[in-house]
Amino acid sequence: MNEENPKCSTCSDSDCSASKRRRNETDEEFADRQKLQSRLCRIRHKIIVLSGKGGVGKSTVAVNLATSLMLLGKRVGLLDVDIHGPSIPTMLGLENEMLQGSEEGLLPIELGDLKVMSLGFLLKNQDEAVIWRGPMKMGAIKQFLQDVAWGDLDYLIVDSPPGTGDEPLSVCQLIGAVDGAVIVTTPQKVAAVDVRKSITFCHQLQVPVLGVVENMSGFVCPKCGEVTQILSSGGGRKIAEDMNVPFLGSIPMDPRIAQASDDGRVFIHHYAETPLAGIMRSIIQPIADLDGCCC
């Protein structure tokens, strides 16, 4: 074995950046980078879900996207890097799950064919607050990518906290070649301003924008069917058009979505036959198309 450039165990691609030591890289840094790369090599598509603001339904979209891809027969990982407010364990009814280790690394929690990892699984109780600065967050995200036994995946969906801070930056830097970002917003102007920042963030990091999803776009009265635009409408589509990125579609407000996530059930799975689940599937189709599958 070449001591200067020891082979990565995943493949023998001599063009892979992990096959070559960088200038001034220590042995430890090089070994770490190879370990990270050997995990990432086994994941075909890496998608990050972003939003400008909190509470717009980003985690809801991430959970439904991941579950929908799994229901299509894909091997999917869902990584929650919302370090200060991990909500994925609750949305999937996994609050009481404990992580376990193996020779391969930390084992993600498995829900059917969906592999889930969240800092929420490491907190002793849900009231615990995580008070970490940027480098600690970067370290935790690196561990989630490098030390978790993800195995072979078709998709890794990363649910990032709102905004353009340390977490999405770390994810994009560590993963390198992210397939793209799905950006979630609500339709009103105050959310729209921030979604522009998320799009600019992607452009600056050369992460393709797969599209904008407008969530909570109108409320359909369950009794009479009348549509009320509680948060105005069309903001997401307008931004997508203005900034020349795809618009994936609108999800209306529906109490069943909120109820399902409180109950730890995924809407697109448990209400699969409803027209709204059909709307969600059409929004997700371009992401499913990345791996050539049909919703």
Positions that interact with ligand ADP (CB under 6 A) = 51, 54-60, 87, 215-216, 251, 253-254, 257-258, 261
The single residue listed with the structure tokens 């376990």 is: 100
List the beta bridge partners of residue 21: none
Q: 153 or 251, CB closer to ligand ADP?
A: 251
Measured CA to CA, the distance from residue 198 to residue 150 in angstroms comes to 27
Tokens of 145: 């990518």
Question: Which contacts of 130-133 are long-range, i.e. CB under 8 A and separated by 24 or more positions?
Answer: 130/83, 130/84, 132/83
Cite the beta strand spans of the chain per DSSP E: 43-51, 76-80, 100-102, 105-107, 109-111, 114-118, 153-159, 180-185, 209-220, 227-228, 247-253
Q: Nearest approach, Cβ of 260 to ligand ADP (angstroms)?
A: 7
Interatomic CA distance for residues 182 and 198, integer angstroms:
10
Min dist. Cβ of residue 202 to ligand ADP (A): 17
Nearest CB to ligand ADP, comparing residues 36 and 240: 240
Residue 54 or 151 having the CB closest to ligand ADP: 54
Minimal distance in Å, beta carbon 91 to ligand ADP?
7
Q: For residues 57 and 236, which CB has a smaller minimum distance to ligand ADP in the complex?
A: 57
- At its nearest, how many Å lie between ligand ADP and the CB of residue 155? 19
Beta bridge partners of 212: 183, 247
Please report how close the Cβ of residue 69 comes to ligand ADP at its closest, in angstroms.
17
CB of 103 to ligand ADP, least distance (A): 34
Please calculate the CA angle 152-158-163 and round it to the nearest 5 degrees: 165
Nearer to ligand ADP, 146 or 261 (CB): 261
Contact 41, 32 (CB under 8 A): no
